[in-house]
Homo-oligomer: A and B are copies of this chain.
Amino acid sequence: MLIQEGSKPGRRATAQAPLTRHALDDLPVALRRRARAALPEVSELQAVRHYTRLSQQNFSIDTHMYPLGSCTMKYNPRACHSLAMLPGFLARHPLAPASHSQGFLACLFELQDILKEVTGMHAVSLAPAAGAQGELAGVAMIRAYHRARKDLARTEILVPDAAHGTNPASAVMCGFQVREIPTGSDGDVDIDALTRAVGPQTAGIMLTNPSTVGVFDRNIQRIAAEVHRAGGLLYYDGANLNAILGKVRPGDMGFDVIHMNLHKTFSTPHGGGGPGAGPVGVSARLEPYLPVPLVTREGAHYRWLTEADRPESIGRLTAFGGNMGILLRAYVYARLLGREGMRRVAEFATLNANYLMTQLRAAGFNAAYPQRRASHEFIITLKTEAKEFGVNAMDFAKRLLDYGYHAPTTYFPLLVPECLLIEPTESESKEDLDGFVAAMIAIRDEARTNPELVKTAPHRMPVRRLDDVRAARQLDLAWSPQA
């Protein structure tokens, strides 16, 4: 039942609004609402019960393992939440003066420094509100850089075919054309194709390394050299940064600009779809273009740097400078990890991924790149199973839900058929990984003996498989009183 369907005219959570009803007589009638909005009218208990029960219908890290490639669903430490929610931080108005913001700004300043160090970049802005906004900011800085040099012919951004969909979309948002570069059979970027593609029209290339096929591109230094030689810049998509945190730095690989997904690598919560945070780091030549605001320290005093301080900045991306509460969570996480803990993130994420790939292969599943090390993630292709049993990757994914595992990323990257992109992360234990392997084996057995069971999965969720086609064709996007 929708909260709206439990509504009853005149019912209220009385304690939650002012007890006095003030008049609004001085407002012009023509500007006032004529009919009351059709919002739910419920009691406090009703709302609490409704949303508590709704929450129980979710999978979440706190209840289930998410071996979800490219999404780094790892444990979100509870202290990050409670410390970011301290009243002093929550009550602070975004326009409070620096005199009343020193404790808060100190955290952001130190976070900037930590992110600079782990990425090997020259400067960092925390402003972007999510990974995609970080990408937008990064590409916008590439654009600003070329424009400042009057290098206006650079209209093209190169993007490997395995890239996240946000990469080409962000490039287009900045007015660039996108050219796709194929992936070689070994999982690395096809370096010959790349060489052919770069040229005076190249503004830059957007790369994830390790890539979305779960391998570290061994030619990264050569790629950097080629693109730089052609006058282009290198953009690092930080979605997979968890794989190399504390081990390898994008700045050392030759990247000019990087965004980080704090809700992945720095374990801020996904929250059912956000908020994220997508700080960007840059090499020295891009620093003037960083989005504002930034935090600086002058002596013992912290203050914001704004448009006035950074006239060449690509500008402001949200009204108040970013998802501050998420930045605080990432700061707490970074301080809990410390330098040794950062390195362990990459080490154990990689150990888990390679172990899980090994065990799945031992169980007879096919890895897409069996000759390669897994990075923090790897691809299993269910092409054989699909052919033999008529049970596809989506069916496996849905049936995994019944076994208590969130589905891996399916059908991405697009270049591997019937693929599952699997990323166990460092915070799951060997027992959890073994349990996942056992579930995969059990589902394959079911696919063999009772394919219908798998094809109609899930069976133990609050709903059975949903009709996505109907959802898109017979659009029902909002409840209304008449309905």
User: Which residues does A use to contact B, with CB under 8 Å?
Assistant: 6, 8, 11, 15, 43-46, 48-49, 52-53, 56, 61-64, 75, 77-79, 336, 427-429, 431
Contact = CB atoms under 8 A, between A and B. Distances in A.
A79 B6 CA distance: 23
Nearest to A13: B77
A11 B428 CA distance: 12
A250 to B, nearest CB: 27
A427 B48 CA distance: 12
A79 B429 contact: no
Contacts of A11: 429
Contacts of A61: 45, 49
In order of increasing CB-CB distance, the 9 nearest A-B pairs are A45-B75, A52-B62, A45-B427, A15-B336, A53-B63, A48-B62, A52-B63, A56-B56, A49-B62
Contacts of A336: 15
A224 B394 CA distance: 74
Given A43-B75, A48-B62, A52-B62, 17 more contacts: A11-B429, A15-B77, A15-B79, A15-B336, A43-B429, A44-B77, A44-B78, A45-B61, A45-B75, A48-B75, A49-B61, A49-B62, A49-B63, A49-B64, A53-B63, A56-B56, A56-B63
A49 B56 CA distance: 13
Contacts of A43: 75, 427, 429
Nearest to A425: B45
A7 to B, nearest CB: 11
A52 B58 CA distance: 12
Contacts of A6: 431
A429 B62 contact: no
Contacts of A431: 6
A78 to B, nearest CB: 7
Contacts of A52: 62-63
Nearest to A62: B52
Contacts of A63: 49, 52-53, 56
A79 B13 CA distance: 13
A111 B15 CA distance: 20
A336 B15 CA distance: 7
A428 B79 CA distance: 35
A46 B429 CA distance: 9
Nearest to A336: B15
A50 to B, nearest CB: 10
A240 to B, nearest CB: 21
Contacts of A49: 61-64
A43 B8 CA distance: 46
B15 A78 contact: no
A16 to B, nearest CB: 9
Given A53-B63, A56-B56, A63-B53, A78 B48 contact: yes
A78 B49 CA distance: 12
Contacts of A428: 45
A435 B11 CA distance: 18
A43 B431 CA distance: 12
Contacts of A62: 48-49, 52
Contacts of A46: 429
Nearest to A51: B62
A18 to B, nearest CB: 14
Nearest to A42: B429
A43 B336 CA distance: 15
Nearest to A19: B338
A46 B8 CA distance: 42
Contacts of A77: 15, 44
Q: Which of A43, A49, A431 has the most chain B CB within a 10 Å cutoff?
A: A49
A15 to B, nearest CB: 5
Nearest to A74: B45
Nearest to A338: B19
Contacts of A15: 77, 79, 336
A57 to B, nearest CB: 10
A68 to B, nearest CB: 15
Contacts of A56: 56, 63
